[in-house]
Amino acid sequence: MPDALQFPIIDLSSPDRFSIANLIRQRCVDHGFFYLVNHGVDEELISKVFEQSSNFFSLPIEEKMKLVTKNHRGYTALHAEKLDTTLTTRGDSKESFYIGPLTDDLNQWPLEEDLPSWRCTMETYHQKLLSAVTKLLSLIALSLKLEEDFFEKVGALIEPLAFIRLLHYPGDLNSSSEEIFGASAHSDYGMVTLLVTDGVPGLQICREKSKQPRVWEDVPSMSGAFIVNIGDMMEGWTNGLFRLHSLQILAKTVLWNVWKAVAPSLVHQDSHP
């Protein structure tokens, strides 16, 4: 059985910003994961998001398919994606719903009469998460020996492509003998990912993705905390200083939601951390 990892806890409300930034640097150089607490997203709101997410995924498939993904917004059906294309199995055992920036009018929403308060709950959650990520990025800037408003100055926070992805992993529906993944081995795009679960285990990381066979370690959830990992873009911007590891999710009956922050405007800037 894989070992369970223990990550450092980053307190977003701590007044000792330089000590917290140094801790972020140490862990991102090591494995790119940490827990984020006192992030400003209320437990009550997170519970509402899980409840509303469950309400959507409980709809009949024909109702969910009315909101099938367009412009990277909306519903993706079970087995529609396979993150590890080297596998011979069918697609990953998950269904999802993408919610992008609130300002571009591209999001798809369930009808209010079908799922009351669904849209306003998700919009509030998006706004709260964006605020938390903005604060986190200032600490990441300090951890890179930069001014804490670096990402703001170079345009990373100008209309960022910030996404919420609601995820449902129904598990091994066919009880077959083959290994079933909710999300097969992959890395996350973008700057950072904030993940919160309903407590059901399944997330694993591989710290040495180039070695074979891969060794996978369990990542336990923590009540009230987001699990944070850096993405492909952040690893590239730091010239590999901040390390990105492979992830996979074992298929279990679980509801998760994931926040992925991408800032494409920064790619076109001349200055890089």
Domain spanning 32-262: CATH 2.70.70.10: no
Q: Global pTM?
A: 0.82
Residues 6 or more apart from 31 whose CB is under 8 A from it?
5, 205, 207, 243, 245
Q: Would you give the distance in Å from CA 34 to the centre of its chain?
A: 13
pLDDT of amino acid 100: 92
What is residue 67's DSSP assignment? G
pLDDT of amino acid 268: 35
pLDDT of amino acid 131: 92
Residue ranges of domains in the chain: 32-262
CB hemisphere CA count around 68 (13 angstroms) = 7
| pLDDT tens, N- to C-terminus, the chain (273 residues) | 445 567 889 999 999 999 999 999 988 887 778 899 999 999 999 999 999 999 999 999 999 999 999 999 999 988 766 666 566 566 677 888 999 999 888 999 999 999 999 999 999 999 999 999 999 999 999 999 999 999 888 877 777 888 898 988 876 555 454 566 666 565 666 788 888 887 776 777 776 666 677 667 777 888 889 988 887 777 777 777 886 655 444 444 455 566 655 544 443 333 334
Paired with 261 in beta bridges are 162, 192
Looking at the chain, the number of H-run helices and the number of E-run strands are 7, 12
What is the C-alpha radius of gyration for the chain, rounded to an integer number of angstroms? 18
